[in-house]
Amino acid sequence: MRRTRRGTGLVTVFDTGMIGVISDDPTNDVANPITPTIRAIDLKDLMIDVWIGARTKAQVRIGIQFSDNPIDFSGGVQKEFTAGYLSTAGWNYGSTWVDIWNLSGLANADYKMFARIVALVKTTNSSTKLESMIVRVRAQGKPIRPRTQSTPWTLANSAGSTGSGAFHPCSGAIPADGVAFHRVMTELAGDTDISALVKWQETNTPDEVSTWAAGGTVGTAITANGVTYPGKIVAVSPTKRYMRYGIDVSNGAGTDIEGVRARMTIEQRDR
């Protein structure tokens, strides 16, 4: 499989080469992975070209699978790009762009950290006889500029109140120029009795602590240890030159000062 990038114009994101795909199901699609695992943030608008060679009684359409586990996609969601199946030999050229972040029928929570492109194959038999075909898939994508940053563990504590929390930065200053979408995966460990809310701040002078101003929240309050995966990317509109991310910690109950350790994986995209 070849993967290339260019700075302008169309980008050949994936070219699988000739690959065999199979199905023994006349009713439901059988997902045949045709790319390695990809960070979902790396994908946006795709146009898929499919070449079909030797085949038996099989038909195919191209789609995508999502999962929070880069190895195990068994519990993830899959979705076709177009409803129709292809079975004509030769090139079947794509004619429209597909925005993978706005696929019909998918909820926000269906979008995961990782993705892979799949050939969804179904037979035209009335039985479960195994059928196969040879395909080559070439995906063209519009250039994007994804940014990913993982933070170290940060110790954060509440101010001893169930009301307004205390903000603790987890990331350093991140250039905000062009950022239009973001999402955050958060991991908490060792929490006592807290409610943690992911927030971002912004400033034009990152070295002056007092100038960081509230930007907004990302997701909903987290109250338990473990990983909280993000779903769909969400729009963000910073007005200053730099951003940073952190958690706002308040008590789940009572007035003791409570604490937690936190780290994040921050994903941003410029369009």
Phi and psi at residue 40, to the nearest 5°: -60, -30
Q: What is the tens place of the pLDDT at every residue in 188-242?
A: 998 788 899 999 999 999 999 999 999 999 999 999 899 999 999 999 999 999 9
| 1 found inside a domain | no
| 236 found inside a domain | yes
Which DSSP symbol is given to 260?
E
Map tokens 């929490």 to a residue: 191
Structural domain range at position 241: 147-269
**Mean pLDDT of all residues in 137-156:** 91
Total-model pTM:
0.87
Nearest to 103, CA basis, from 45, 38, 35, 183: 45
Q: What is the tens place of the pLDDT at every residue in 125-135?
A: 888 889 999 99
C-alpha Rg value of the chain to the nearest Å: 22
Which of 119, 141, 163 lies at the terminal end of a domain, its last residue? 141
Which structure tokens are listed for 136?
A: 């080559």
167 and 67 belong to one structural domain? no
Q: Is the pLDDT of residue 3 over 60?
A: no
| Domain total of the chain | 2
Phi and psi at residue 205, to the nearest 5°: -130, 85
16 and 130 belong to one structural domain? yes
CATH code of the domain covering residue 43 = 2.60.120
Contacts of 104 (CB under 8 A, 6+ apart): none
Q: Is the pLDDT of residue 7 over 50?
A: no
Burial string for 103-120 (b: 16+ CB within 10 Å, else e) reads beebeeeebbbbbbbbbb
158 and 86 belong to one structural domain? no
- With 0-12 / 13-18 / 19 or more C-beta atoms within 10 angstroms meaning exposed / middle / buried, residue 237 is exposed
| 2 found inside a domain | no
The sign of the CA dihedral 92, 93, 97, 100 is positive
Which of 126, 141, 156 lies at the terminal end of a domain, its last residue? 141
Contact, 15 vs 117, CB < 8 A? no
Contacts of 131 (CB under 8 A, 6+ apart): 22, 23, 24, 55, 56, 57, 58, 121, 123, 124, 125
| 4 found inside a domain | no
Distance of CA 159 to the CA centre of its chain: 34
Q: What is the mean pLDDT of the chain?
A: 90
Q: What is the tens place of the pLDDT at every residue in 206-216?
A: 999 999 999 99
Which structure tokens are listed for 15?
A: 């070219």
